[in-house]
Structure 1
């Protein structure tokens, strides 16, 4: 009874410390282990041929493999602090074939993995450390009126560009979130949404990473890479560091690590970044132009999508809502944007699955805004994924819990 437990602990330790203790050639990528969530979603589906097919797969399949259809959005950020070693390893373990490092820079112009240059106050423990003194906006507690109603929410702003790389590496990642009613730093940091968890945010986890470290880890884990160049929160050039130099530095770190362009999908919401990569690097062939549309009215039309293709852009990545709508019978179907993108010859990746909390309570936010009337239960997530995969024809799905699209891709091929 004790030997298997020790063996499992040793295997787990090997995976979670592989960057520090093993050379890339000595590391065996982790076996894919989906865990219970995809099967919970299948069981929760309304009866349908899709449910029957997925149930048959779940009952008959003995092993699952990693799949490029499943993209680890900030790693496995539904439960692990985003852009940490632990989150990345979890994403690879649950079948992500591609894992994301959002890229920002430090004061000494080193590239690190964070979702935004100015999110350290919500994604790390900086406010509880002496480095809080370097935040561009210190923690300010919430204020209330005499009846206890919130007047001004608690706030702070802390940037990677205020820290050296050495300082950044002393921080620990935490689950993204904050408490707007906080009167203290501790209350402010305790703002994780109820449908996530702080179970993996302890003082010995949440290991922050440089972009270079993420590349080496991903090589060892056997996954492809999708770095997103985040638009800076500071004016550019930053101490002589231009936007073009920033975009080139990202590519240079893959070249230095001998990662071929076919294994990298550089992304940006900023069109000049994409144009720079297309025009100046071999990595531009797989550059992903992210669309930050907030509503359907913000989406590009058919002519604009065709214009992207004419510029050498091959992949677009809009949010889920951009690709789906409902028909007269209330069924989820491809949107006009989806049809126009395909007609333009563009490949499509979408974002982000497992990021809207509980679905059955309705009101599922931005990602579901064009088809929320058709969502009634947690299992409908797999219905959404099926329409995106088989009717829209997306090539990949960003997910905060990549076991879900990995399961789907293994079963539906």
Structure 2
């Protein structure tokens, strides 16, 4: 008798990191536990909660602290008096803000689809899900595994840290405390901390053992630099000198797609820049954002049909960026992202 022992082995394709942007926000309303769970089901390596604070200092997952477009608060008469105008990062914004709600009040609200015209299927889930806390997102990640059996990673972004500091609701301390409670503030934990500002990342680098990624927008400048009169812009940050400076406190950069491959005047992908090569030379990984499957977001050559809400060739776009050295990416459609890297 011949005994043959068969060992199961998962075969990975490209090792590029797939980050579920606000969960699987192309399939469920963003920043809900359902969206994060769907991202995990679609083989995301990491899930990405954007973090803002409630009035009582609890971190919750919302893309912005203004929640009129992502919850049903506008239809709640008991909160009509909370509508106000605040100056966020130098810009007047009118609506309802998480910092004016206690967690108990915020939990009475329900999430809704942010861009229903482009994602009408997601509106079927409007009104079903509450706003999750950081602790709940971390708990979901701890109890879950990726498609290749590893722990699901968490990639939190602190939103408007200078603004929240100005109203005595600092984000950094409760973020680090939350990671410690979850047992995730340790070397080797699958946690990456990110921000469009710089000073708070330097602080997080001192406070936490997590990896750090400096986000870089296509235009403008980090607001903490603007607020202190520092003339540097995001363009300065991705210069060779700027990237070397980032490497002193961060492990990677999260680049707007146009920083890597800008689009031509007719909306097609143009010639790649030196940003990826320069970041790698500085010892930094490069994660690109944001990859979405709807035609409206895609370069012309990857669109399918004329409907802006139509589904184009997202995997093709992702592969074009991987071909020039991108190490990972944020996507609203993790399943398509996983397919693009051959999983």
Q: Does 1:161 align with 2:99?
A: yes
Q: Structure 1, residues 67-102: CA drift from partner, whole Å, max 9, x if none?
A: 872111001111311101111111111111100111
Q: Runs of 5+ in structure 2 lacking a partner?
A: 1-9, 87-92, 146-151, 222-232, 305-310
1:43 counterpart residue number: none
> What is the root-mean-square deviation in Å for CA atoms of aligned residues?
3.0
* Number of residue pairs aligned between Structure 1 and Structure 2: 297
C-alpha change, 1:247 and 1:68, in structure 2 (3 Å) is: farther
1:280 counterpart residue number: 207
**Aligned-residue offset at 1:347:** 0.4
1:313 counterpart residue number: 250
1:25 counterpart residue number: none
Q: 1:249 aligns with which of 174, 187, 192?
A: 174
1:409 counterpart residue number: 341
1:127 counterpart residue number: 74
- How do 1:221-236 and structure 2 match up within 5 A? 221-222=144-145, 223-232=152-161, 234=163, 236=165
SS state of the match for residue 52, structure 2? strand
2:110 counterpart residue number: 172
Q: Structure 1, residues 292-330: CA drift from partner, whole Å, max 9, x if none?
A: 233899523121112211x23211001111111479xx8
**Aligned-residue offset at 1:226:** 0.5
2-structure distance, mates of 1:332, 1:137? 40
Q: Structure 1, residues 83-129: CA drift from partner, whole Å, max 9, x if none?
A: 011111111111111001111000011111111112x1000000111
Q: Does 1:400 align with 2:338?
A: no
Output the TM-score relative to the length of structure 2. Answer: 0.77
1-structure distance, mates of 2:158, 2:40? 21
Q: Does 1:385 align with 2:318?
A: yes
**Aligned-residue offset at 1:64:** 8.9
Q: Runs of 5+ in structure 1 lacking a partner?
A: 1-61, 139-154, 178-191
Q: 2:191 aligns with which of 253, 261, 264?
A: 264
2-structure distance, mates of 1:134, 1:233? 22
C-alpha change, 1:402 and 1:335, in structure 2 (3 Å) is: same
2-structure distance, mates of 1:64, 1:86? 26
2:273 counterpart residue number: 335
1:293 counterpart residue number: 218
**Aligned-residue offset at 1:404:** 1.0
1-structure distance, mates of 2:192, 2:275? 22
C-alpha change, 1:375 and 1:409, in structure 2 (3 Å) is: closer
- How do 1:363-378 and structure 2 match up within 5 A? 364=297, 372=299, 374-377=301-304
Contact 2:316 2:340 in 1 (8 A): no
* Greater alpha carbon shift after TM alignment, 129-138 vs 252-261: 129-138
2-structure distance, mates of 1:224, 1:167? 29
Contact 1:326 1:374 in 2 (8 A): no
Output the TM-score relative to the length of structure 1. Answer: 0.65
